[in-house]
Structure 1
Amino acid sequence: MSRSELPTTLKLMTVWLLIGLALFLVFKAWEREREASRFQLAGQTVVLTRAPDGHFHWPGRVGGVEVDFLVDTGATTTALPQALAERAGLKPLGTVRTQTAGGAAEGFAARADVALEGGVRAERLPVAVLPNLHAPLLGMDVLGRLHFSQKPGELRIEPNE
């Protein structure tokens, strides 16, 4: 390779890297906007739009750690992945065995302060912490305190009066 070819090659590589970076940033901004549009607050009503994975997600916090809860009306208890529970500083209170959609699971019981976008809070909520759980599940122990209705692709949640 001659000396005159090197600057041209570097220029082309730089242009392609900048184009790739720009496309990446545009995709990330689009992805962030899509995520934000799945949660809306209309007065006291929380409106969740079905995500591409077919589920409803409700953003919140567990002990100060941001989470994206999967709304699970089939779950009796709110369940957290063990890695999340550790980041949130939850302490084991005892062993728990539970039946999940994937079969029997064993983990530990803990108490967590849960705060959901829209002002829904549950202090010292008993939760199941499961080592192989992939996403935090918001169960009927929280959802049962609320009034919710579903339309195609939309879940509306309001405080119980």
Structure 2
Amino acid sequence: MAHKDLPHSFKLLTIWLLVFLVLFLGFKAWERERESSRFKLAGEAIVLTRSGDGHFHWPGRVGGIEVDFLVDTGATATALPQALAERAGLTPLGAVRTQTAAGAARGFIARADIALEGGVRADKLTVTVLPDLAAPLLGMDVLGRLHFSQKPGELRIEPKQ
């Protein structure tokens, strides 16, 4: 009797695994679509949609490394995590002590070539590199060169005229 139950149980298990796999792949496709739809080009304007974490994210590159910048209008300067700066081959130019939302922090300054989706560039930008920073922050040193306006859930960025 046990031998006849095994193939039936195996069939049920296989069906459930396939259902789970289809649901998982569907969720991943939906998640990928949602992530990519947070950045749109509308003529010369770049439109960022607020993400699930409550922030605006702007995809870009530091050197040749893809990054997801957190748009931080409260930050004076663009800041990078030290691990990212090391991967991008940035050279420390000097020590820096700065105030962050989490308190005082020590790091170094460096120059980086920043390229953002939509054609925005900041070459040889002086950036702050901090060892405990969780994500790259795009500060007003870049954002101040642009015109941006905000409405609920959306940040619209355009070149200054």
Which bin holds the TM-score, normalised by the shorter protein?
A: over 0.9
| TM-score, scaled relative to structure 1 | 0.93
Q: Cα deviation per residue 1:58-78 (whole Å; 9 max; x = unaligned)?
A: 111111111111110110110
Identity, in percent, stands at 78
Distance 1:12 1:109 in 2: 59
Distance 2:86 2:5 in 1: 54
1:56 corresponds to which residue?
Answer: 56
Q: Cα deviation per residue 1:49-90 (whole Å; 9 max; x = unaligned)?
A: 111221111111111111111110110110111222222222
What one-letter code is carried by the residue in structure 1 that aligns with 2:14?
T
2:23 corresponds to which residue?
Answer: 23
- Judge which range, 124-133 or 112-121, deviates more: 124-133
Report matched runs for 1:91-130 at 5 Å.
91-130=91-130
| TM-score, scaled relative to structure 2 | 0.93
Question: Is 1:33–2:33 an aligned residue pair?
Answer: yes
Structure 2 gaps, min length 5? none
Distance 1:36 1:93 in 2: 35
Report the 3-state secondary structure (helix = DSSP H, G, I; strand = E; otherwise coil) of the residue aligned with 1:4.
helix
Question: Is 1:152–2:156 an aligned residue pair?
Answer: no
How many residues in Structure 1 have an aligned counterpart in Structure 2? 161
Q: Tell me how far 1:4 sits from its aligned partner.
A: 2.4
2:13 corresponds to which residue?
Answer: 13
